[in-house]
Amino acid sequence: MTGATSPGRIEADPGEGSGAAAVEVLVPTRNRPVELATTLAGLAAQDHPFDVVVSDQSDAAASYETEPAQAMIRVLELRGHRVRTRRHLPRRGVVEHRAALLGASTARYVLFLDDDVWLAPGTIALLHEAITELGCGMVGAAMQGLSHLDDERPAEQEPFERWEGAPVPETLHPDTPEWERWRLHNAATPIHLARRHLRAGERRLAYKIAWVAGCVLYDREALVAVGGFDFWRDVPEEAVGEDVVAEQRVMAKFGGAGILPSGAVHLESGTTIPDRPVTADGVLRG
């Protein structure tokens, strides 16, 4: 990190904006040509400088080789975004795939974006604004399932708590009230939370999380400082839950937050990982 004025506080990079984009969007994908094209379409509608890396592990042709995906890549490039596509084989699990993507990036901020998430216009700008102003190690926009708009769940909103001021480092443990914050991101709850808690004239708010899935912006040096996703060597290849490990390690040292309004819409396609026998956080906790 570029200096720290207090534990977990990260200062803005004074050289930011002088070269390549400060934000790089990292998209791991496999066997999702339709969803990937939709995700790229969301990126093409963003008004913010960023570069893109799409890393594909499809069983046959790469998902980015379809005509719709290629069209969106051309739109992105026409708007000034550098787009890199790559095949990353053989497959060694989702944790290793994220580690490889992180290793391919040198940007100050890296946005891990799942291949089944559409971003509303302005989302990347809002996340970048939040992480630079808050000075923390990560911020996330939780995925929202819009088919659940009428399914409001007041009980699952109870763990909600704003960050008043900059997030401070915190260490979370299972079977504690703080761990229950994961419920804040079920169904369409982020939309219901925004309607309830955003104040008049407020552009965004930061709130306390257990973790966020699908759309997470890291200060890259903060993520690297806690080991990134290098723990892929310490978990079985089929392990999932890698975002829980990485985010909580960053939060423990540098602080982190969820951001409302979210702007991340889950496409609600079927998972490409139907069998989830182990989670990385469970393995590493022993």
Would you say residue 53 has pLDDT above 90? yes
Mean pLDDT of 79-103: 97
Transcribe 209-272 into DSSP letters. -S---SEEEEEHHHHHHTTTTGGGGGS-TT-B-HHHHHHHHHHHHH-EEEEES--EEE--PPPS
* Res. 136 pLDDT band, cuts 50 70 90: very high
What pLDDT is recorded for position 4?
Answer: 35
| Cα–Cα dist 66/192, whole Å | 36
CA torsion 192-194-198-201 (nearest 10°) is -120
Q: What percent of the chain has pLDDT over 70?
A: 91
Q: Which residue has the higher pLDDT, 94 or 1?
A: 94
CA 231 to centroid of chain Cα atoms: 18
Contacts of 81 (CB under 8 A, 6+ apart): 21, 43, 49, 50, 51, 52
For 222-231, the pLDDT digits (tens) are 999 999 999 9
Would you say the pTM of this structure is higher than 0.85?
yes
Round to whole Å and give the CA distance between 238 and 93.
6
- Nearest 10 degrees: Cα torsion 63, 122, 112, 2: 140
Q: Higher model confidence: residue 129 or residue 6? A: 129
pLDDT at residue 7 above 50? no
- Can you give the pLDDT at residue 285? 81
Measured over the CA atoms of residue 255, residue 258, residue 259 and residue 263, the dihedral's sign is positive
Q: Which of 138, 144, 165, 178 is nearest to 261 (CA)?
A: 144
Q: What's the pLDDT at 70?
A: 98
User: Which of 63-67, 148-152, 261-265, 278-282 comes out lowest in average pLDDT?
Assistant: 278-282
pLDDT digits (tens, 9 = 90+) for 168-183: 999 999 999 999 999 9
Q: Which residues contact 147 (CB under 8 A, 6 or more apart)?
A: 188, 268
Instruction: Determine the average pLDDT of the residues in 29-54.
Output: 97
Write down the number of H helices and E strands in the chain: 8, 10
Mean pLDDT of the chain: 92
Percentage of the chain beyond pLDDT 90 is 87
Separation of alpha carbons 29 and 63, rounded Å: 7
